[in-house]
Amino acid sequence: MFFTFLAGLGCGLLISGEGGFTGGDKVAVLRVENVILDSQIYLESLKKIKNDDGIKAVVVRIDSPGGAVGPSQEIYSALLELREHKPVIASIGGVGASGGYYIACAGEKIFANPGTITGSIGVIAQFASYEKLLAWAKVDVEVITSGKFKDVGSPFREMNEADREYIQELIDNVHVQFKTAVSKARDLDMNEVNVIADGKIFTGEQAKELKLIDELGTINDAVTLAGSMGGIEGEPSVVSFPKKKSALLDMILSRANIHGLSGFPTKSSFGLFYLVDIIN
C-alpha cells in the first residue's frame, strides 16, 4: 500500500507538472512569454494565485515582444485587480516591449536589466493584398458586403484612401489607450508620454532615465522585493505559473495530435497589435 501511494503521488506530480511541494508563504512568478495571442491561461493562473492564501505576492516575469491588443489589456486589467489583494512586481527579461510593456505597467514597481529591450509604445496592423497576384493568375473573387467598410483588410483587394483613414482612426484610438495606461502607471504627464510613444524601443538603462521602469535588477531582485512587500521574512519560496505539463504528458498529447485525435488548423484574422518586430 505504501509503494502504491508513492506511485500514485509520483504520477500525480508527473501529470500536473509539479516538481515537489512548496510549503509556507510564497511568491508566485507568472511568466508571460512569447507573442501574446490569448490571455486565458494567464487569467486562470491569476485566479489561482488570488485564491491561494499561501501566496503573499506576485512577480510577473515578462519575456515577450507583445501581441494582440485585447489579450494584453486583459492580462493588464487582471493584474491591476490582483494588486488590490496582493503586491505585484514586474520583471522584464530579454524583451518586454509593446504589449509586454503594457502588461509590465500593472506592476507597482518595474525591474529590467540594463540591456533589456522595452518600450515600443505603439500599435500596428498589417495587411497583404493578393489582388495583383490573382489578376496575374486570372482568378476572379466575388465579395458581397452589407457596407463599404465590411471587407476592410481583405487580401482580395488593395486598400483605398477611405479604408486607410478608417484603420488609422482605430489605431490612433488604441494608441491613446496605451499612452493613457502608461501615463497613469508611471505617473507621467501625457505630454511626456507623447514624446516617447512613437514606437521606439529602449534599453533598460534608457527606460530608467525615461521613467518607464523603476530599477535595474534581476528577477531575483524582484522576488526579494515582492516577498518583503508581502510580509515574508527571509528568502521567499517561489512557485511558478502557468503550470507546465510534464514531458510525458506533452509526448502523449503530441502523439494524439499526430494521429488526428485533437487539434484543428489555426485561423488568422484581422486584429490590432501591441507588437514590436525586433528580428525579421
Active site residues per annotation: 98, 150
Single out the residue of 119, 90, 277 nearest to residue 205, CA to CA. Answer: 119
Decide if 66 contacts 100 (C-beta within 8 A). yes
Residue 216 φ/ψ, nearest 5 degrees: -90, 120
Paired strand residues for 97: 119
d(CA 211, CA 54): 33
Find the Cα–Cα–Cα–Cα dihedral 202, 203, 205, 209, rounded to 10°.
Answer: 0
d(CA 136, CA 173): 37
Alpha-helical segments (H) within the chain:
2-16, 40-51, 69-82, 99-104, 131-136, 161-186, 190-196, 204-209, 219-229, 247-258
